[in-house]
């Protein structure tokens, strides 16, 4: 008998079927940041860095769906997501209360531009995130391809408070036990966290630290090089806009999957 998950429904490919998947675990990092792990349907494929639509039904039974970057790598058996909790957010107010065993709707159509295929070959890769914008990079930094494609990687994360960095720091640690990364030099990834509302080793918005030259001084570079540097950006609309200006001014060209370039951007999704 045909497994309905693998059948073609009205010409829909197996990867486009919607379904309810089970919650494996949920972790609250701060009062407004949480992550959750879902079962991964066996035939669900995606590239590290992509996002999907997921959600829950409201009290009237209407599905409330939002885009979420997958924060686990494409080889993982489960699907990890990282979310902000918005007090009156129609989805996150429900999602932050999910428990192990609950069902979450997963729309099986992964997409997004924060994928390695959207970048031209290069030597150094900068991953710029603010807040929950770290999620697609949490996926990419556990993918062997990133270490095979780039000699040097810098993960930059700007948050308000120290506690907001914890999720990203855990993912950095998880890499140390990833079998697929065993033979690769994961130390080629440097981590550059900055905080804007608490005393810290690096203080201020990354955009300001780039403009003032502090960022380059700290990491031992003189500036961006359009010949060998590539970048991915994920944060608020304003952050993306400011980063785009900085990268364009440095001579880097924006890319897409259809036309790979020197940098790509995507908005961090908010519930
Ligand atoms: P700030 O504290 O100065 O607003 P949020 O929690 O609002 O999503 O922000 C996450 C982090 O991103 C904060 O540290 C915030 O700094 C920073 N941020 C917000 N907007 C920008 C921007 N346009 N450029 C650079 N950093 C930004």
Residue 268 is predicted with a pLDDT of 85
What is the pLDDT averaged over residues 134-162? 98
From the CA of 244, how far away is ligand 1's center (Å)? 15
Q: How confident is the model at residue 111 (pLDDT cuts 50, 70, 90)?
A: very high
Residue 196 is predicted with a pLDDT of 98
From the CA of 30, how far away is ligand 1's center (Å)? 17
In this predicted model, what pLDDT tens digit does every residue of 188-238 receive, in sequence order?
999 999 999 999 999 999 999 999 999 999 999 999 999 999 999 999 999
What is the pLDDT averaged over residues 62-80? 96
Q: For atom 5 of ligand 1, which residue has the closest CA? A: 131
Q: Closest ligand 1 atom, CA of 268?
A: 8
Residue 13 is predicted with a pLDDT of 54
Residue 2 is predicted with a pLDDT of 32
B/e letters for 86-102, b = 16+ CB within 10 Å, e = fewer, are eeebebbebbbebeeeb
Verify whether ligand 1 is closer than 6 Å to residue 150 (CB atom): no
Residue 108 is predicted with a pLDDT of 86
In this predicted model, what pLDDT tens digit does every residue of 28-38 receive, in sequence order?
999 999 999 99
Q: For atom 24 of ligand 1, which residue has the closest CA? A: 239
- C-alpha dist (Å) from residue 11 to 7, 43, 52, 86: 9, 16, 20, 37
Mean pLDDT value across the chain: 92
Verify whether ligand 1 is closer than 6 Å to residue 159 (CB atom): yes
């Amino acid at each position: 008998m045909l497994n309905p998950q693998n059948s073609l429904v009205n010409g829909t490919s197996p990867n486009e079927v919607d379904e309810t998947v089970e919650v494996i675990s949920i972790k609250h990092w701060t009062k407004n940041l949480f992550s959750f792990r879902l079962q991964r349907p066996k035939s669900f494929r995606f590239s590290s860095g992509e996002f999907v639509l997921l959600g829950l039904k409201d009290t009237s039974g209407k599905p409330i769906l939002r885009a979420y970057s997958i924060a686990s790598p494409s080889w993982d058996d489960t699907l990890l997501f990282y979310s902000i909790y918005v007090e009156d957010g129609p989805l996150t107010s429900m999602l932050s209360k999910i428990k192990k065993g609950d069902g979450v709707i997963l729309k099986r159509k992964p997409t997004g531009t924060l994928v390695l295929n959207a970048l031209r070959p290069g030597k150094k890769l900068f991953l710029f995130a603010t807040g929950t914008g770290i999620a697609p990079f949490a996926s990419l930094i556990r993918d062997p391809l990133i270490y095979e494609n780039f000699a040097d990687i810098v993960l930059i994360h700007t948050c308000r408070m120290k506690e907001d960095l914890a999720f990203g720091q855990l993912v950095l640690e998880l890499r140390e036990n990833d079998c697929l990364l065993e033979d690769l030099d994961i130390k080629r990834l440097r981590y550059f966290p900055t905080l804007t509302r608490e005393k810290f080793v690096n203080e201020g918005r990354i955009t300001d630290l780039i403009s003032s030259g502090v960022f380059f001084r700290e990491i031992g570079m003189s500036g961006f090089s359009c010949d060998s540097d590539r970048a991915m950006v994920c944060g608020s609309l304003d952050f993306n806009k400011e980063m785009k200006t900085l990268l364009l001014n440095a001579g880097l060209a924006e890319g897409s999957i259809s036309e790979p370039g020197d940098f790509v951007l995507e908005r961090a999704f908010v519930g």
